[in-house]
Amino acid sequence: MQELISAGQKLLKQLNDYGYRAFFVGGAVRDFYLKRPISDLDLVTSATPKQMLELFPASFQMNNQHQTVLIKCDGYLFEVTSERGNSLEEDLQKRDFTINSLAMTENQEIIDLFGAKSDLDKQVLRSIDPVERMTEDPLRMLRALRFQSELGFKLEGELANVISQHCELLEQVAMERIVKEIEKWFCGPYCQKTIENKTNQKVLDALPLLSFTKKELSVLSTLNRLPNHDQSLIWTIIYYIKGWNQSTAPRLPLAKVVLKEINKVLHFYALRKDLDWGFESLYDAGYTIAQKVEWLKESLGERFIAEQSLKTKWQQLTIQDRSELAIDGKILLKEFEQKPGVWIEECLRKAERLVLTQQIRNEKEALIKELKGSFNR
């Protein structure tokens, strides 16, 4: 973290030396004040994008709307944005919440023009002009929920009223942006606490395609905290709470690999309702999917297998992946002298079952002999 800050300080100094104002701003300064880890640093400057591009030829403009230039310094990439308005004060005044309106100089002097430190100390989420800030970008109402989940802060009264009155504007927000905020909200240590707030309930009810009912929120409030930021597990929970499956879920901007894993977890969760893990079902699921199934069962108050017991069972499998089989498709083509076809998959599947159930040793000759006998039958 210190290397990142040092690189940022070097960039601030360079901009200052060229005669431009430059400061650290936003969440990084907030986290610096709260003594939280910092993963990235945003800068604001009085220089225009054109001037920055001339000063740093290797940089490039990444956002025309917000006049942001990406500049590399000591191996770190920094987003440097031109001030909105004619001064630092005008720029900070337009930040979504006061806690994000802090700025910091090259020498780590914090500039607080709008009572951000006081709000951070009181653990209050406030906006300088809540109507203007929330309506110019309605996603900020969901960001308010996310910051409550992340920091454990409370909504200031006026901001809460504005959000309650305007949360229907979330219908205008692109689902890609909503999905990202929902994931961050889910992972916050105070996520369940946020559900108790009526304003937050209204926000969650107003989400396009994702409107949460009180009943669904009640189920969510009982779940264990997520072990980490696991995107597929987040959406598996949402699918479960809403009773969605592959054919009934709305089209959300989720990657195919995430959707595949959601459906796989739900499939094996359904199987685990009545059956314990067998060698074959555990092998088909894979250890990671099985872990998520057991986490879900534990969170829902159902009988589950403890982590160590599941790991022991997994380690008892004679093979844990098809690549460990003593045969593969090329060997089958050579031994059977047949044209490629679905028979290869069928043979490999049968070989897996034979090895997993320990009917046949995982040896090439033994497997080929057994498969040829079955093939001829």
pLDDT (mean) for 198-226: 93
Question: Does residue 135 have a pLDDT over 70?
Answer: yes
83 shares a domain with 55? yes
Residue 63's pLDDT is 64
Question: Does residue 296 have a pLDDT over 90?
Answer: yes
- Please state at what angle helix 139-151 crosses helix 175-187, rounded to 10 degrees: 10
Question: Does residue 180 have a pLDDT over 60?
Answer: yes
pLDDT (mean) for 280-292: 97
Question: Does residue 205 have a pLDDT over 70?
Answer: yes
Question: Does residue 66 have a pLDDT over 80?
Answer: no
Residue 225's pLDDT is 82
3-class DSSP state of 43: strand
Among 25-29, 71-75, 228-232, whose mean pLDDT is lowest?
A: 228-232
Residue 237's pLDDT is 95
Q: What is the pLDDT of residues 149-177, one digit of tens each?
A: 999 999 999 999 999 999 999 999 999 99
Question: Does residue 193 have a pLDDT over 90?
Answer: yes
Residue 35's pLDDT is 95
Percentage of the chain with pLDDT > 70? 98
Q: ∠ CA 95-100-103 to the nearest 5 degrees?
A: 95
Domain end: 212, 234, 257, which one? 212
**Rounded-to-integer distance, Cα 61 and Cα 17, Å:** 21
**Cα distances (Å, whole numbers) of residue 38 to 29, 145, 185:** 9, 21, 18
**Rounded-to-integer distance, Cα 357 and Cα 318, Å:** 8
Q: Which domain holds residue 279?
A: 223-317
324 shares a domain with 307? no
Question: Does residue 146 have a pLDDT over 90?
Answer: yes
| pLDDT class of 377 with cuts at 50, 70, 90 | low
Residue 96: give its domain's CATH number. Answer: 3.30.460.10
Amino acid at 126: R
Query: pTM, whole model, 2 decimals?
Result: 0.89
Among 102-111, 140-149, 230-239, 365-374, whose mean pLDDT is lowest?
A: 365-374
Residue 144: give its domain's CATH number. Answer: 1.10.110.30
| pLDDT class of 352 with cuts at 50, 70, 90 | very high
The two three-digit tokens of residue 69, written as one number: 């230039």
303 shares a domain with 336? no
Average pLDDT over the chain, rounded to an integer: 94
pLDDT (mean) for 135-139: 97
Cβ atoms within 10 Å of 210's Cβ, excluding its own: 17
Domain end: 299, 317, 335, which one? 317
Cβ atoms within 10 Å of 86's Cβ, excluding its own: 9
Residues 6+ apart with CB under 8 A from 323: none
Question: Does residue 126 have a pLDDT over 80?
Answer: yes
Residue 376's pLDDT is 61
User: How would DSSP label each residue in 244-262?
Assistant: --TTTS---S--HHHHHHH
What's the total number of domains in the chain?
A: 4
Among 35-39, 50-54, 59-63, 240-244, whose mean pLDDT is lowest?
A: 59-63
Residue 39's pLDDT is 87
217 located within any domain: no
Residue 354: give its domain's CATH number. Answer: 1.10.246.80
